[in-house]
Amino acid sequence: MTAARPPGDLRIDRSTHDDVEPIVDLVVALLEEISAGLGERVFSADPDTTRTRLRRFLDLPGYASFLARLGNEPVGVLTLYESLALYAEGAFGTIAEFSVVPAWRGRGIGRTLLQAARAFGVSRGWTRLEVTTPPLPAFARTLAFYKREGFAVSGGRKLRCLLEPPR
């Protein structure tokens, strides 16, 4: 299979505070897509809260967001942050959100966003990138994409436990 060549006017930029609105729109759409694919709401994605949180994250040195644009149209986003673990032999990157607008999938945009994430990770001295896919089989295509891009399954499922502040 030949790799799709990204459109010639594709631009990938590290996000700034000026990019908050399109990033929030893309992330909220991603979370809605995952919930629809699973048939249940698994994420809370209040746009106002997400905007506030993103503005704070963009100021953190270990956090980065990359926005893909065709002309002025936002068509993809990838966010990642620095993690630390003994098993990873130090610092590594965790991809938190990653999506390409459905109409633009399969055209090399996701691959180009991953290249930006890899370059950022190398510049930070990270040993690896990690990502959790949405549940299978509903998102088997997502897993296949990651495998084509050099990711390997390295463990079990992602689990969560919500924490409540003490009363």
Q: What is the pLDDT of residues 100-157, one digit of tens each?
A: 999 999 999 999 999 999 999 999 999 999 998 877 777 888 888 989 999 988 877 7
Q: What is the pTM of this model?
A: 0.89
Tell me: the pLDDT tens digits for 22-76? 999 999 999 998 888 878 887 878 899 999 999 999 999 999 999 999 999 999 9
Predicted local confidence at residue 112, as pLDDT: 96
The mean pLDDT of 67-88, rounded to a whole number, is 96
Q: Spell out the alpha helix ranges (H) of 9-153.
A: 20-38, 47-58, 109-124, 140-148
Residue 27 · residue 74 · CB < 8 Å: no
Token readout for 98 is 């990653």
Structural domains of the chain, with CATH: 10-148 (3.40.630.30)
Give the model's confidence band at 2: pLDDT under 50 very low, under 70 low, under 90 confident, else very high: low
